Amino acid sequence: MRELEEELSLRHLGKYLGGHSFLDDQKAILFQQILPIVDLKKPEAVLLSGDIYDTKAPSGEAMRLFDDFLVELFHRNVHVFAISGNHDSGIRINLFHELLSASGYHTCGVYQGKVASYTLEDEYGPVNFYLVPYLNPGDVRVYHPFESGQRPFDDALKEVLRNEEIDTSKRNVILSHQMVIGSSRSESNTCTVGQKDPEYDQVSLDTYRDFDYVALGHIHKRMSFHGNKVVYPGAILPYHNLESNERFVSYVELREKGNMTQEFIPITPKRKMVNLKGSYSEILQMESISDYVAITLVGEVNDPQASVILADKFPYLISISREREYHEEDTSFSSAASLPKTPIETIEYFLESKTNHALSQEDKDLIREIFDEMEKDK
């Protein structure tokens, strides 16, 4: 059974950043790089592990791009398994799933008390595919009340799998859109607000112990565990200026039980993510490029048209940030005592550093009022 795990490849269709649409870049990498890999490797299945779209209400252009890609896979007689991520509308992903399954497009957008499962056959026997969309603990408690501890997301997934009859003598593959303990968040992946435990919304690797291959979504960079049996291929494009330009698809071959090979196949974005840093005059002297550009300006900028001039020089400019220059006599940020210690102080620090202005007492009171309301809702 040959599988191409491309949950990364359809990540965040319709994404915008800095006013620029990524649709052209996404189309290029899907049709000019990933489809040729499908033609070369001839997988029986393509796995899409969530965040197919960037928003729960994607644009018509984003949906057409996905539809065009699915049609190409259909013409190649490739099965597609897809789940919803936290960015997707589960209901939208689930639309016409029974009808579409007859054509080889198998989806699960909403957990409804039982894991959607499908079976394909090859010369070694059956391969079972289990589709688990992004889960919040509340999604599971509707069907299976359970007690949770310090890791409610892990407890929720364990409860879901506990209610399934998984034959471990067979080859089993799971698609899941969760963050595993030991993975690291990218700039595009945020933690659950108000939680101090970094593992609060993460799941343990042991939860997936009954599966021969675990196709994960949620993390934007390539990561793997347990001898590449548990894999985040990452997103097909860097969606933040701190994300690497190195992108991959995960290609897997399942032979008899216990015999699996996996490789990461590199793919190259049409445009890279480039960081430029310097004074305003230094940036103006740099060569114009057609990649996505994030600029960090150092020092004073006295030109009121600076942002317009820079956007004209760099057509794919996504952000301009300022870096303060600190001196030894400047003690406002020099000691540990002055660093933020609470979530509220962290937000105040962030807003002041971004705006270069101290927050008014009215602003601070509003932040505290919002946090008080959040505490009441827990």
Specify the pLDDT at position 19: 86
Q: Phi, psi (5° rounding) for residue 260? A: -135, 140
Amino acid type, 11: R
279 plus 138 within the same structural domain: no
* Residue 274 contacts residue 294 (beta carbons within 8 Å): yes
Residue of higher predicted confidence among 18 and 129: 129
48 plus 34 within the same structural domain: yes
166 plus 148 within the same structural domain: yes
- Residue 41 scores a pLDDT above 50: yes
Rounded to an integer, the average pLDDT of 151-160 is 96
Q: What is the CATH number of the domain that holds 226?
A: 3.60.21.10
- Residue 330 scores a pLDDT above 50: no
253 plus 288 within the same structural domain: no
* Residue 218 contacts residue 233 (beta carbons within 8 Å): no
Rounded to an integer, the average pLDDT of 76-83 is 96
Rounded to an integer, the average pLDDT of 66-93 is 95
Banded model confidence at residue 113, pLDDT cuts 50, 70, 90: very high
- Residue 187 scores a pLDDT above 90: no
Which of 235, 267, 299 represents a domain boundary (last residue)? 267
Which of 267, 302, 318 represents a domain boundary (last residue)? 267
> Taking Cα atoms as reference points, which of 223, 214, 151 lies closest to residue 183?
223
298-315: pLDDT as tens digits: 998 889 899 999 999 999
Q: How many helices (H) and strands (E) does the chain have?
A: 11, 19
- Residue 170 scores a pLDDT above 90: yes
337 plus 357 within the same structural domain: yes
67 plus 118 within the same structural domain: yes
CA–CA dist 50, 110 (Å, integer): 12
CA–CA dist 306, 320 (Å, integer): 10
Which of 251, 267, 283 represents a domain boundary (last residue)? 267
Specify the pLDDT at position 141: 96
206-252: pLDDT as tens digits: 999 999 999 999 898 899 999 899 999 999 999 988 899 999 999 99
331 plus 355 within the same structural domain: yes
204 plus 235 within the same structural domain: yes
234 plus 332 within the same structural domain: no
**Could you give the number of structural domains in the chain?**
2
The pair of three-digit structure tokens given for residue 186, joined into one six-digit string? 């990218």
Domain containing residue 320: 273-377
Q: In sequence order, what DSSP letters do the residues of 50-83 get, joined into one string? A: S--BSSSS--HHHHHHHHHHHHHHHHTT-EEEEE
The pair of three-digit structure tokens given for residue 331, joined into one six-digit string? 């003690």
18 plus 120 within the same structural domain: yes
Specify the pLDDT at position 199: 84
260 plus 290 within the same structural domain: no
Q: Which of 176-180, 332-336, 339-343, 366-370: highest mean pLDDT? A: 176-180
Mean pLDDT score across all residues of the chain: 86
370 plus 241 within the same structural domain: no
